[in-house]
C-alpha cells in the first residue's frame, strides 16, 4: 500500500509540475504576506446541513433575453428526467435541495380536483404576466418529477401559486382574495401519493413593489394563515409537517417586517429572499463587478438588514436565499457559465453564511446561462464543482475570520464537514498578487513555522508558492492539511475548471470525477495564486466551537 501511495504522490507532483509550467509569470513574482486569524471559540452563525440548493424553473423554450433563448427544454414541464448525467449530478450531493419555482410560478395551475382552467402549457401572450399565459402542471408529470426526486434523494421545496383567484387592481398591483382550492387539492394529491415535500413556498417576487405583480403585506399575511391551516389539516396524520416559506421576493424591510407581524408567531418558518446583485445579464461591466471586492461586499447590507428584521419582528423564522443567479434575465452568456462566476458564487455562499442564512438556492440547477449544468449537454459548468466542494467541505458552523490582507483576498471559515478541524475558503480576486498566508487561531497559535521555506530551491519554492505542495513524503511525525486549488483551464471564461491542476470532467460513464486534495505540511504557509480559489482544511486548528458539533 505504501508503494501505491508513493506512486500516486509522484504522479500528482508531475501533474502539478505541468500545471506550473503554464504559469511562469506567477513563479517569477514574489508573494505578498498576509495573516488570517480564525476565531474558533464560538460560532457566529450556523447553516442548515443541506445549505446548497438549486432551482428548477418554469420557463418554456421560447423564453428569450438579449436575442438569445437559453432555456431550451430544461425546466419543470420539459426537462428530460431520464438523462443519466442529470441524476448523477444530483446524487453526487447525497441530498441536494431542489426548489421548484420561478417567475411563472404564480401562473401555474394544477390539473387536479375542480380546476377551472384548461390544462395547456405556457404560451406567448402580450398581456400575460411576463409575456406568457397561464400554464398547467399535469399530475402525470408531477408523478415523474417525484420519481426523480425519490431516485436521487433530493430535498424538495415547491413554490405555490399565490395569485390564483386574484385580479389586477392597477398596473403591477393585484388584489382580491387568494383562492386556495387548487393548492389544497394539489397538496392533498401529493400527500395521498406519498410524495415527500420538505417545504411549501408561497408566491414568487410579489413582495414590496414586486416584479411584474405585487400583493400587499396585509393580504399576504392573511393568506399565509390560511395556507398554514390547510397544511396543518392535510398533514395531521403525517409523521412530519413540511416547512412554510414566504415570500420568495426581493427584500423590502418594511414589507417583510409587516408580513411577519401580521402572519403572527410560528406561521412562517423561513423568510426567503432573492439576490441578483450583479445586475443584468448583458451588462458589459459584469466581469468587472465579479472581480470588484467593493461591489461584492454591497450585498452584505441586504443580508444584515434581513437578519435584523427577523430578529426584531419574527425570531421564530430563519433566513433563506430562495433564488440567486448573480445576473438576472437568464444570466450572462459566457460569464455565468464559466470559471469566473465562481468568484461571485462562492463569495455569496460565504457571505450569506455569516448572516445566519440557512439555505442558499442557486438559479438554476439547469437552464438559462446560469445553470450549474449545461442546458443542452447536461455536463457540469464550473459552478457545479464549486457548489459540490462547498457541500462536501464546509460544515454548518460558521466562524469569524480576521485578515490583514487587501480586500482582494476574501476569506471565510467553517467547521469542517464530517471531520474535526476548520476549513478555510480563500478567494483571490487580484490579477497580480500571489498571497503567502499565515493562518492563526484566536489564541495566537501560529500555524506558519520556519522562515527557511524562502531559502529553498527555486523550483520547490515555486511549486509551494503556486499550489502549496510540500514536496515531501508523508510520515507519522508530520501533520498535513488538505488543499483544493481551483483555476481556469486557460482564461477566466473557460468552461472547464482545474482542481489542483487537473481538469474536472465527467468520466467516460458520465460519473462525477473523484478528486484528491494536495496534502501539505502544516509547517508551510498557504499560497493562493492570482485569480484563483482555494479550500484549505486544517485538521488540528484549535476551534472549541467545532468540537461541539
Q: What positions carry a catalytic annotation?
A: 205, 323
C-alpha distances out from residue 125 to 61, 160, 523, Å:
14, 22, 65
Phi-psi region of 450 (alpha: psi -120 to 50; beta: other; left: phi over 0): left
* Cell digits of residue 166: 386574484
- Nearest residue to 280 via CA among 332, 204, 337: 332
- Nearest residue to 236 via CA among 201, 187, 271: 187
3-class DSSP assignment, residue 541: coil
- Tell me how far apart the 2 most distant CA atoms of the chain are, in Å: 79
Would you say 441 and 2 are in contact if contact means Cβ atoms under 8 Å apart? no
Q: 10 Å Cβ neighbour count for 179?
A: 14
The CA dihedral of 541, 542, 544, 545, to the nearest 10 degrees, is: -30
Q: Which residue in this structure is represented by grid cell 417525484?
A: 146
3-class DSSP assignment, residue 97: strand
The rounded distance, in Å, linking the Cα atoms of 427 and 276 is: 20
Burial of residue 510 (CB within 10 Å: 0-12, 13-18, 19+) is middle
Amino acid at each position: 500500500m505504501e508503494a501505491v501511495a508513493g506512486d500516486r504522490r509522484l504522479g500528482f507532483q508531475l501533474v502539478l509540475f505541468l500545471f506550473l509550467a503554464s504559469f511562469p509569470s506567477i513563479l517569477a513574482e514574489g508573494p505578498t504576506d498576509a495573516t488570517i486569524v480564525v476565531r474558533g471559540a464560538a460560532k457566529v452563525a450556523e447553516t442548515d446541513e443541506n445549505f446548497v440548493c438549486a432551482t428548477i424553473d418554469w420557463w418554456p423554450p421560447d423564453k428569450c433575453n438579449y436575442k438569445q433563448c437559453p432555456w431550451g427544454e430544461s425546466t419543470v414541464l420539459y426537462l428530460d428526467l431520464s438523462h443519466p448525467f442529470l441524476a448523477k449530478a444530483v446524487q453526487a450531493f447525497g441530498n441536494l435541495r431542489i426548489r421548484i419555482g420561478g417567475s411563472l410560478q404564480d401562473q401555474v395551475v394544477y390539473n387536479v380536483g375542480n380546476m377551472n382552467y384548461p390544462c395547456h402549457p405556457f404560451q406567448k401572450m402580450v398581456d400575460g404576466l411576463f409575456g406568457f399565459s397561464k400554464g398547467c402542471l399535469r399530475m402525470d408529470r408531477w408523478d415523474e418529477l417525484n420519481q426523480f426526486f425519490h431516485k436521487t434523494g433530493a430535498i424538495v421545496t415547491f413554490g405555490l401559486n399565490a395569485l390564483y383567484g386574484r385580479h389586477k387592481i392597477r398596473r403591477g398591483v393585484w388584489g382580491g382574495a387568494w383562492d386556495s382550492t387548487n393548492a389544497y387539492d394539489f397538496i392533498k394529491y401529493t400527500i395521498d401519493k406519498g410524495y415527500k415535500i420538505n417545504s411549501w413556498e408561497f408566491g414568487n417576487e410579489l413582495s414590496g413593489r414586486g416584479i411584474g405583480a405585487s400583493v400587499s403585506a396585509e393580504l399576504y399575511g392573511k393568506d399565509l394563515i390560511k395556507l398554514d391551516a390547510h397544511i396543518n389539516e392535510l398533514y395531521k396524520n403525517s409523521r412530519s409537517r413540511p416547512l412554510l416559506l414566504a415570500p420568495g421576493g426581493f427584500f423590502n424591510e418594511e414589507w417583510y417586517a409587516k408580513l411577519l407581524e401580521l402572519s403572527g408567531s410560528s406561521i412562517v418558518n423561513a423568510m426567503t429572499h432573492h439576490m441578483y446583485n450583479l445586475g443584468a445579464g448583458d451588462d458589459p461591466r459584469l466581469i468587472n463587478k465579479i472581480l470588484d471586492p467593493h461591489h461584492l461586499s454591497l450585498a452584505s447590507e441586504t443580508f444584515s438588514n434581513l437578519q435584523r428584521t427577523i430578529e426584531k419582528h419574527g425570531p421564530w423564522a430563519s433566513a433563506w436565499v430562495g433564488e440567486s443567479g448573480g445576473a438576472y434575465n437568464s444570466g450572462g452568456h459566457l460569464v455565468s457559465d464559466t470559471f469566473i462566476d465562481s468568484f461571485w458564487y462562492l463569495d455569496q455562499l460565504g457571505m450569506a453564511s455569516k448572516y445566519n442564512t440557512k439555505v442558499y438556492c442557486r438559479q438554476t440547477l439547469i437552464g438559462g446561462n446560469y445553470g450549474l449544468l449545461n442546458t443542452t449537454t447536461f455536463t457540469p459548468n464550473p459552478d457545479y464543482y464549486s457548489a459540490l466542494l462547498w457541500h462536501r467541505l464546509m460544515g454548518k458552523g460558521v466562524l469569524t475570520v480576521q485578515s490583514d490582507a487587501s480586500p482582494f483576498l476574501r476569506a471565510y471559515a467553517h467547521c469542517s464537514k464530517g471531520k474535526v478541524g476548520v476549513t478555510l475558503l480563500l478567494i483571490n480576486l487580484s490579477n497580480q498578487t500571489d498571497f503567502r498566508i499565515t493562518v492563526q487561531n484566536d489564541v495566537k497559535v501560529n500555524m506558519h513555522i520556519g522562515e527557511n521555506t524562502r531559502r529553498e530551491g527555486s523550483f520547490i519554492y515555486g511549486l509551494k508558492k503556486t499550489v502549496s505542495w510540500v514536496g515531501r513524503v508523508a510520515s507519522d511525525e508530520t501533520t498535513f492539511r488538505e488543499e483544493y486549488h481551483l483555476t481556469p483551464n486557460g482564461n477566466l471564461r473557460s468552461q472547464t475548471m482545474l482542481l489542483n491542476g487537473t481538469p474536472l470532467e465527467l468520466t467516460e460513464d458520465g460519473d462525477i470525477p473523484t478528486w484528491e486534495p494536495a496534502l501539505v505540511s502544516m509547517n508551510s504557509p498557504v499560497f493562493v495564486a492570482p485569480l484563483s480559489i482555494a479550500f484549505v482544511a486544517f485538521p488540528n486548528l484549535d476551534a472549541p466551537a467545532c468540537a461541539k458539533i
